[in-house]
Chains A and B, each alone.
Chain A
Amino acid sequence: MAEPGKKRVIKPLKNFPVQEYINSGHRACQGCAEVLAVRHVLKAIGPDMILAMATGCMEIISSPYPLTSWNVPWIHVAFENAAAVASGVEAGLKALRRKGRVPDKEITIVAMGGDGGTSDIGFQALSGMLERGHRVIYVCVDNEAYMNTGIQRSSSTPFGASTTTSPAGKIHPSGQTTWKKDMTAIAAAHGIPYTATACPSFYTDLAKKVQKAKSVNGPVYLHVLSVCPTGWRIPPNKAIEYGQLAVDTGVFPLYEVENGVWKLSRKPKELKPISEYFKGQGRFRHLDEKLTGYIQEQVNARWERLIKTCEATGGQPEPEAPKEA
């Protein structure tokens, strides 16, 4: 668990390092923005890292024994316990370092899981890790459904998305009938020093947040929207574009919560209509005008609430909004 009063000083990244920590040749689908998110996150952290990963797409594309794509010390144990395994690595290294059995050097412990492994089955382990104060960066790479098992709905699937277990039908014309679980707010409610949303379509913003996460003395939760062309039923070359649209329509706002202060990372002058984001996504194809209008109202309301929270906690948007990729 984190010791008070220690803060690492991190030099800001001018350029992304050339060094790769997840090698090419893995089995991710074409246009996978999740593996892109992982690649960026690892580059922003650097070599002195240990990665604990949940079962899911990123694990299964990278580790068919005896092959591995990982260029960092990596462990996978099960689906729901990446946060707990990372807690154990952190506790173990802390004890060994104190006892002089490993070098007296700061190692960044990272845990990663998909939205299912984070907001559903791994929820309890994550909450435990955040509450106990382990110095771990937890990264949720959220592609908004159980893509690895074949696009089943999770609690992170947005309202209106059709998945293989929330199909649009006569009784439920919207497909998914529930709203996306707000994991970042839940993480913030644990009183942890830093939590943020990010998206690889805005990779400088993502890298900056990861860098900040690395410098924080305590648990960090990063929620990274990771566009999945296969599950969202879009062409692979559109993944970056849809990430941008998710942010600029207000569907997935970029913000951070640092020591209780909420701050927007990107505030578009005017939100684009969600119909622009829905257009071309197979998972939203069934939505009619009425349902789209209803979702638009909800997105607007949530956006307003977020702005108010930012104002109430004193957070101002970044002077320069991050540029699009």
Chain B
Amino acid sequence: MGKKVGIEVSIAAAEAVGLCDVDVVAAYPITPQTHVVEHLSELVAQGELDAEFVPVESEHSAMSVCCGSAAAGARTFTATASQGLALMAEIVFIASSMRLPMVMFLSNRALSAPLSIWNDHSDAMMVRDCGWIQVFCENGQEVYDAIFHAFRVAEDPGVQLPVMINVDGFTLTHVIEPIEFWSKDMVKKYLPPFKPVHRLYPDKVVSMGAFGMPEIYAEQKKAHDHALWNSMPVILEAWDELADVTGRKYSPVELYKTEGAETLILAMGSICETASLAVDSMREEGKKVGLVRLRLWRPLPVEGLRKALAGAKDVVVLDRAISPGSANAPVTSEIRALMYHEPDRPKIHCMIAGLGGRDVTGDDVTRIVETALADTTYDYHIYGVRG
């Protein structure tokens, strides 16, 4: 077992990337991602990590460099946030469709305008359909462990897809937490070297990125969809083996005090820690409230969610992004859709909270639940907003 140290989550994540012996890091600075790539460039400069650090001139080029590097068969990492993700979005979609494995640390941050460096999930929801494996983390240890898991899953010959690790900007990236580090032996045992199925090298002529005529495009898209669904058993197996190595067990959907719960809160990311405190206090008051944590956003654990939500009277979804002009917010939309045909479906409340770094405390979560249960006439509700 590794040692436990108090460390900033971003630095720990960079240390994890270093332990994975990454070959290429391409990144452009953007708040609140900077500490991750700063530390990686330090590791390279000090000779502690044998990698190429490519300080690109934009996020668009960051993702493009990552595509080239992954295609050449190198272990590849990048990190970004918000506007950076928006700028690279074009290539984000291409990376997954071309089945180029890489890992991205996304420090979730609100989208402009108005410019905001603070946390919400609008950046992640913008690229919801980008075809990457997408994971949301709750705490520092989980972020650290997710790095090893992500490389292992992305590079699996049966997966060959990029993985996005969502880490709430500031509220998680910049906090100091006690994190148990992995030893080199643990990494060696857990993460095999990257052996690409196809790579760019003159020993074998390959053409990557051909264009699709109408008679082939839809088949390509279907194949991509299949690939994402087929990654599910690999993701689960990699989490099982991570438990063997570390003793920490992760799963796509996690339940907290849901036994006998009539009301379930459903959320993703660091807000779940806050929500679990709210559940504690509501339980103390005798309210039958539990928490469903969604860790794996893509591929969506549909059956796991149906099972978790079945039997509840009310589900309060804490959405961290807004979908203007829509019937609800992104996460609620999916939860409502997957529960629609269920025989005993709960009432699903869409509560949008914590946009652009607006603080959501434990008391807020309690009030959000109360607000949701008190008035059920709306499609969605933006909590605590003026005007």
Contact = CB atoms under 8 A, between A and B. Distances in A.
Q: Do these two chains really belong together in a complex?
A: yes
B216 A96 contact: no
B94 A85 contact: no
Given A131-B57, A132-B55, A95 B64 contact: no
A91 to B, nearest CB: 4
Contact of A70 (B67, B76, B205): B205
B143 interface: no
Interface in A45-95: 47-50, 52, 59-60, 63-68, 70-78, 80-81, 83-95
B65 A87 contact: yes
Interface string A118-141: 000000110110011000000000
B50 interface: yes
Contacts, number: 171
B23 A68 contact: no
A306 interface: no
Given A50-B202, A92-B23, A132-B54, A87 B211 contact: no
A128 B73 contact: no
B57 A127 contact: yes
Given A65-B216, A89-B72, 9 more contacts: A63-B210, A64-B211, A66-B216, A71-B205, A73-B200, A85-B67, A88-B68, A88-B76, A96-B72
A84 B62 CA distance: 8
B74 A124 contact: no
B26 interface: yes
Interface string A90-107: 111111101101100001
B305 to A, nearest CB: 34
Nearest to B58: A124
B219 to A, nearest CB: 10
Interface string B195-229: 00000111011111111110010001000000000
Nearest to A47: B202
Contact of B64 (A68, A71, A85, A98): A85
B348 interface: no
B202 A124 contact: no
B69 A76 contact: no
Contacts of A1: 52, 54
Contacts of B60: 80-81, 84, 124-125
B208 A74 contact: yes
Contacts of A47: 202
Interface string B45-88: 00000111011111011001111111111101000000000000
Contacts of A63: 207, 209-211
Given A81-B60, A81-B91, A99-B23, A73 B50 contact: no
B334 interface: no
19 contacts: A49-B202, A65-B212, A72-B205, A75-B67, A76-B211, A77-B68, A78-B90, A80-B60, A88-B69, A89-B69, A89-B71, A91-B24, A92-B52, A92-B68, A95-B51, A96-B73, A101-B73, A125-B57, A132-B55
B98 interface: yes
Contacts of A90: 68
Contact of A74 (B54, B91, B207, B211): B207
Given A125-B60, A131-B57, A91 B209 contact: no
B24 A95 contact: yes
A84 B65 contact: yes
A52 B201 contact: no
Given A72-B205, A75-B71, A88 B57 contact: no
A62 B67 CA distance: 21
Contacts of B94: 77-78
A102 B76 CA distance: 16
B50 A89 contact: no
B211 A95 contact: no
A96 B211 contact: no
Nearest to B55: A132
A87 B68 contact: yes
B64 A93 contact: no
A62 B269 CA distance: 45
B22 to A, nearest CB: 9
B23 A65 contact: no
A102 B65 CA distance: 19
B202 A125 contact: no
A91 B216 contact: no
A73 B211 contact: no
Interface string B252-291: 0000000000000000000000000000000000000000
Interface centre among B51, B55, B61, B91 (most CB of A within 10 A): B61
B202 A88 contact: no
B60 to A, nearest CB: 7
Contact of B201 (A50, A66, A80): A50
Interface string B167-207: 00000000000000000000000000100000011101111
Contact of A66 (B64, B90, B210): B210
B50 A76 contact: no
B207 A70 contact: yes
